[in-house]
Amino acid sequence: MFDLLGPAMAMAQDGTAAPGAGGRMGAQLLMILLFVLIFYFLILRPQQKRQKAAQAMLKSLKPGDRVLTSGGIYGQIVGIKDEVVVVKISDDVKVEFAKSSVQGVIPKA
């Protein structure tokens, strides 16, 4: 591995700077800024979009929606309380799930 800040740190401690050292330091800072921007656009921003979409889906749940839970159970919502969803998975079988365990709404075919 190569050390990006090592030469700059050594020069800062000595109090001496080689000719052109300011340009090297600027290039290193630009490289770090570039890595931060790449990290943001490739990892953080898509994660935030997925979280917003999941929260919007959970807020839009209503009785009658067919859903898939995180446990792999398909069912139809028959009731919603604050953070609890009552799902009908079969005739006469109703189960309560945490609202956050709903993975998706199944489109009606």
| CATH number of the domain that residue 99 is part of | 2.30.30.30
pTM of the model: 0.64
Q: Residues 17, 39: one domain?
A: yes
Domain span including residue 73:
61-106
Rounded to 5 degrees, what are φ and ψ at 83?
Answer: -120, 20
Q: Residues 19, 52: one domain?
A: yes
Express as a percent the part of the chain with pLDDT over 90: 72
The mean predicted confidence, pLDDT, of the chain is 86
What's the confidence (pLDDT) of residue 7? 59
Number of domains in the chain: 2
Instruction: Collect all residues with Cβ–Cβ distance below 8 Å to 11 and sequence separation of at least 6.
Output: 17, 18, 21
Distance CA 19, CA 5 (A): 17
Q: Residues 69, 96: one domain?
A: yes
Q: Residues 14, 51: one domain?
A: yes
Q: Residues 38, 24: one domain?
A: yes
In a domain, 24, yes or no: yes
